[in-house]
Amino acid sequence: MTFKPLELADRPVFREIEKSRPLPTSDANFSNMFMWRSYYRFSWTEAHGCLCLLARPEGRPAFGFPPLGDGDKVRAVEFLFENMDEPLLTRTPEAMAVELAAARPGWRLAPDPDNDDYVYLVDKIVTLSGRRMHQKKNHYNYFVQNYRYEAIEVTPALHDELVEVEAKWLTSKTEKIGPDSHLRMEQEAVHVLLENFEALETCGLAIRIDGRIEAFALGERLSGDTGLVHVEKGNPDVRGIYVALCSFFCRSCFGDLTYVNREQDLGLPGLRRSKESLKPDHMEKKFNVRP
């Protein structure tokens, strides 16, 4: 079986799987894989009734992502292992990891907390209600009371302005921590999502202050009762803009859903504090699996 590079034309195949038997984690989402394909260099094939994915980042051994679909997951993982020099399955949802370990007791499972997804109740993000949200509510109130803002739907017409916001965000980050190759790759991923906004059925919201866009969020509605946030960028000098952006975005795009997945923290302390501060309802845990 030949692995082929991941392309936009492959989206219908993946979307059919996402709708019929979605995985609970963000990594299995086609848009996520497509926007990061330059970094991970994804390729895929069908085996044992599953879509099987390999990632080959430059300078690293190939590793697998969880197989998708209703087929034989155990045999699909074995097939992936056979196509790697150093067999490794990453970002494996907890239920699948348990299933694999039960079927193959010799396989080793290791938690991957840096990649666990943060999942929130949409209603809590929208209302910021309760004592645990008191500090966030204060920042939100400061923002709405002190800035002349406008929350607007993202459309392809805003492409250039959003790219400018992303560039300013990257400059601000680089000034604080120095050049970072991951941030550059993240910038490219955001550009890919914006350039394919309609094809990937992305939804988004931007905030203008005094006529200038200062923040934006991009995501999509998944099958079932969950929305997924791909991107949140904003001017860190504007107090309360991130909590306002998150609240406005969830109300606009996911207001009729139960949950919103805001993805992982990658082990970055600042990002972890930020995601924890919005009090997730639960975490979607992931594991690494080795033979």
Q: What does each of the 291 residues of the chain score in pLDDT, given as a tens digit? A: 799 999 999 999 999 998 887 788 999 899 999 999 999 999 999 999 999 999 999 999 999 999 999 999 999 999 999 999 999 999 999 999 999 999 999 999 999 999 999 999 999 999 999 999 999 999 999 999 999 999 999 999 999 999 999 999 988 888 777 777 788 899 999 999 999 999 999 999 999 999 999 999 999 998 789 999 999 999 999 999 999 999 999 999 999 999 999 999 999 999 999 999 999 999 999 999 999
DSSP string, 176-196: HH---HHHHHHHHHHHHHHHT
Fold of 4-115: Aminopeptidase (3.40.630)
Residue range(s) in the chain whose domain bears CATH number 3.40.630.30: 4-115, 117-263
* Cα–Cα distance measured from residue 194 to residue 173, given in angstroms and rounded to the nearest whole number: 21
Question: What pTM, to 2 d.p., does this model score?
Answer: 0.95
Q: Please answer whether residues 281 and 123 qualify as being in contact, where contact means their C-beta atoms are separated by less than 8 angstroms.
A: no
117-263 topology per CATH: Aminopeptidase (3.40.630)
